[in-house]
C-alpha cells in the first residue's frame, strides 16, 4: 500500500522538516507501541488499521524507509499538505501532494532496481494507492484570513479548482503504474474542536460543513469519470463525512461519551490550542471521538479503517478496500 495525504495519516514525514506541523512528542503516541512517531493520534491512524486488515506490516514513512522495507509500501503523507502547493504555508515545512508524487517516483526507482522493470509494473498494479487529500486546502488555505483564496473563489469554484488539480495528480499516479485507488472524502470538519471553539455556543459550523460538500460531490463524480476513462484501473470513494456523521449521531452506540472536545488541548472545547508537548491528556481516551483540536482518536480511526476495509455502500462506493484488493483487473496492454 502506498499512502498520500495529510496529518490524518502522516506517520512521521514532517519530523525532520523545519515545520510547526509535527507530532513526534509525547503525549502523541501514548497508546502506540513505539510511543510518539509523528502520528497525529494517541495510537493508530486510519491507514494503520487498513494495513493491518490487509495483512500488511504498518507502512513505513518515506523519510525513514529504506532497502527491503519499501517493498510492502511507503507512506508519503505530510501534515499541513494540500492538493495545492500553497496550502499550509503557515506551518512552513510540509510536503504538498505534488512533491509526495515526486517522492513516490524516487521510491519507484528504488523498487525497479530491486525487481526489474517488467516485474515492477505488474507488482505496482496489485498495490493499493490510498489518497486522503483536501482538508488543509480548506482549513489551512481557504478558511485562513491571510490567504486571498476566499476573495477569488466561491465555494463551488474552489471545489472545482481543487478537483481539476486533483484529477491531474491522480492521472500522474496512473501513468506511473498505479491501478487500485482509494480516495478518502473530507470528514465533518465543521465539528472538530478547533472549529467548535470558535463558536460561543460550541456548535458545529454549518458554514464549514456546507463549504466542503461540493468538494466531496466532485470527488465522487471524479471517481465515476476515472473508472470510465482509465483502462485497467479501479477507483473507490470512502465517504468519511457520512462515517463521521454516523459516529457523532450514534456516539453512545459506538462507546463514545465525549464528542465535542479534544482529549488533549487547551481552552474552549480543548480546541483553541492543540495538544502541546508533555501536556497530560484525558485518561479515558477510548470514550473520546477527538484526540486533539483537529484529529480523531485511535478508537475512531480503527472504526473508520474497518468500515473502509469491509463496509457496505453507505461507507464506500462502489466497493470496499477488501473487494478492491481482490479484484481481477484487466492487465493494461500499454505498460506505464
> Among the residues of 176-205, which ranges form H helices?
193-196
Residues 6 or more apart in contact with residue 64 via CB below 8 angstroms:
12
Contact 75, 62 (CB under 8 A): yes
Among 42, 31, 23, which residue's Cα sits nearest to residue 289? 42
- Measured N-to-C along each axis, helices 298-310 and 46-53 cross at an angle, to the nearest 10 degrees, of 40
> Quick one: residue 293, left, alpha or beta (phi over 0 = left, psi -120 to 50 = alpha)?
alpha
Please state whether beta strands 265-266 and 273-274 pair in parallel, antiparallel, or not at all (unpaired): antiparallel
Distance CA 195, CA 206 (A): 11
Distance CA 166, CA 132 (A): 11
Residues 6 or more apart in contact with residue 146 via CB below 8 angstroms:
90
Please state whether beta strands 288-290 and 180-184 pair in parallel, antiparallel, or not at all (unpaired): unpaired
Which are the catalytic amino acids? 7, 292, 295
> Quick one: residue 141, left, alpha or beta (phi over 0 = left, psi -120 to 50 = alpha)?
alpha
Contact 187, 241 (CB under 8 A): yes
Distance CA 105, CA 226 (A): 21
Sign for the pseudo-dihedral over CA of 318, 322, 325, 327: negative
Residues 6 or more apart in contact with residue 89 via CB below 8 angstroms:
none
Which uninterrupted H or E stretch holds 259?
A: strand 258-262
Sign for the pseudo-dihedral over CA of 117, 122, 125, 126: negative
Amino acid at each position: 500500500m502506498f499512502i498520500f495525504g495529510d496529518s490524518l495519516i502522516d506517520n512521521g514525514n514532517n519530523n525532520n522538516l523545519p515545520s510547526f506541523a509535527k507530532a513526534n512528542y509525547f503525549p502523541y503516541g501514548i497508546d502506540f507501541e513505539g510511543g510518539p512517531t509523528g502520528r497525529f493520534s494517541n495510537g493508530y491512524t486510519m491507514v494503520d488499521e487498513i494495513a493491518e486488515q490487509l495483512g500488511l506490516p504498518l507502512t513505513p514513512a518515506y523519510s525513514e524507509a529504506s532497502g527491503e522495507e519499501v517493498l510492502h509500501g511507503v507512506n508519503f503523507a505530510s501534515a499541513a499538505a494540500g492538493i495545492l502547493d500553497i496550502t499550509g504555508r503557515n506551518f512552513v515545512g510540509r510536503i504538498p501532494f505534488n512533491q509526495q508524487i515526486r517522492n513516490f517516483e524516487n521510491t519507484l526507482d528504488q523498487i525497479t532496481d530491486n525487481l526489474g522493470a517488467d516485474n515492477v509494473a505488474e507488482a505496482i498494479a496489485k498495490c493499493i494507492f490510498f489518497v486522503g487529500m483536501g482538508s488543509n486546502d480548506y482549513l489551512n488555505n481557504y478558511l485562513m484570513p491571510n490567504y486571498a483564496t476566499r476573495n477569488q473563489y466561491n465555494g463551488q469554484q474552489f471545489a472545482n479548482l481543487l478537483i481539476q488539480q486533483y484529477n491531474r495528480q491522480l492521472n500522474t499516479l496512473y501513468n506511473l503504474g498505479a491501478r487500485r485507488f482509494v480516495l478518502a472524502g473530507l470528514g465533518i470538519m465543521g465539528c472538530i474542536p478547533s472549529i467548535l471553539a470558535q463558536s460561543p455556543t460550541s456548535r458545529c459550523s454549518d458554514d464549514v460543513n456546507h463549504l466542503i460538500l461540493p468538494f466531496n460531490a466532485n470527488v465522487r463524480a471524479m471517481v465515476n469519470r476515472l473508472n470510465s476513462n482509465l483502462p485497467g484501473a479501479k477507483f473507490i470513494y470512502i465517504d468519511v463525512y457520512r462515517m463521521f456523521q454516523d459516529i457523532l449521531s450514534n456516539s453512545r452506540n459506538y462507546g463514545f461519551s465525549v464528542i465535542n472536545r479534544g482529549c488533549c488541548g487547551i481552552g474552549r472545547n480543548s480546541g483553541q490550542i492543540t495538544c502541546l508537548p508533555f501536556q497530560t491528556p484525558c485518561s479515558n481516551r477510548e470514550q473520546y471521538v477527538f484526540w486533539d483540536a483537529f484529529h480523531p482518536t485511535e478508537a475512531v480511526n480503527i472504526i473508520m479503517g474497518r468500515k473502509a476495509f469491509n463496509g457496505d455502500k453507505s461507507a464506500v462506493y462502489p466497493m470496499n478496500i477488501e473487494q478492491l484488493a481482490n479484484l481481477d483487473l484487466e492487465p493494461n496492454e500499454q505498460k506505464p
